[in-house]
Amino acid sequence: MWTTVARWTQMASGCTALIIAKVAAGRCEMSNSPLTLAGAHQVSDQRWSWQKTRRFRMSFPNEYLGMPVKIDALDHENRAFFGYCAKHDLRLQQCNDCNLLRYPATTACPFCASPDATWTAVEGKGTVYSYGEVHHAIQGAFRQHVPYLLLLVELDTQKGLPDAYDGLRMTANLVDSDGQLATPEMIQQIGIGSRLRIVYKDIDEHVSIPLFTLDEQAKQPEKPWRYPIE
């Protein structure tokens, strides 16, 4: 017996396509029938099939602050990274050839192009390298949360490598110690040079999102530099 699943998706060509998947035990067939913006119907002969000997893996959809979180089934690097985060364990890929760590997760080393790497534990502490303070959210799901901070955090690990101005820098939201978006009062304490530590927002048993909060045990700058806001 066939089960029909339909969803709309945005194509790279600018067309909107209705993806119809027929899933049966041991086999899946998918047809792609795009609709152009002008409404003309085009039929594509693209078809995919998985035999019984292959495992058909779907992506798992989740939400963060009302926005969908999705990691594609074939995105092995990001699945591994967020899988470690689900264990509250920050690990980055370390190249087996040049020994440099990298972020975000990639299929090859950006420094020497080697495809061989090992997931290495990293201490989740660092300094605010830059930030953006959002007061007018473009995405409707975030409007109820303004103001909030988008952080660029430079980790203490591998600072100044491979060159003096390089480093491992992660983007994240500023949150409190429980993983909730920071209050306006907490936001006013943060500036370039503030010391932060990592915390995790659990989405499900497979995925946690790495976020940052103030490091209470670290020495903070007396007056961290903040962008002037009129």
Q: How does residue 229 score in pLDDT terms, banded at 50, 70 and 90?
A: confident
Mean per-residue pLDDT for 149-165?
Answer: 95
Greater confidence (87 vs 34) lies with: 87
Structure tokens at 172: 């994240």
The tally of CA atoms less than 13 A away on the side-chain side of residue 132 is 8
Q: Which residues pair with 48 in a beta bridge?
A: 30
Structure tokens at 47: 């078809």
CA distances from 84 to 80, 90, 170, 172 (A): 6, 6, 16, 17
Structure tokens at 155: 């980790």
Question: For position 61, what pLDDT does the model report?
Answer: 60
Question: For position 14, what pLDDT does the model report?
Answer: 37
Least confident of 57-66, 71-80, 81-90, 92-101: 57-66
Decide: 1 and 19 in contact? Cβ < 8 Å.
Answer: no
Domains of the chain and any CATH numbers: 3-46 (no CATH), 62-214 (2.40.50.840)
Structure tokens at 149: 């901070």
pTM over 0.75: no
The C-alpha angle 201, 171, 181, rounded to 5 degrees, equals 40
Query: How long is the chain?
Result: 230
Mean per-residue pLDDT for 60-86?
Answer: 87
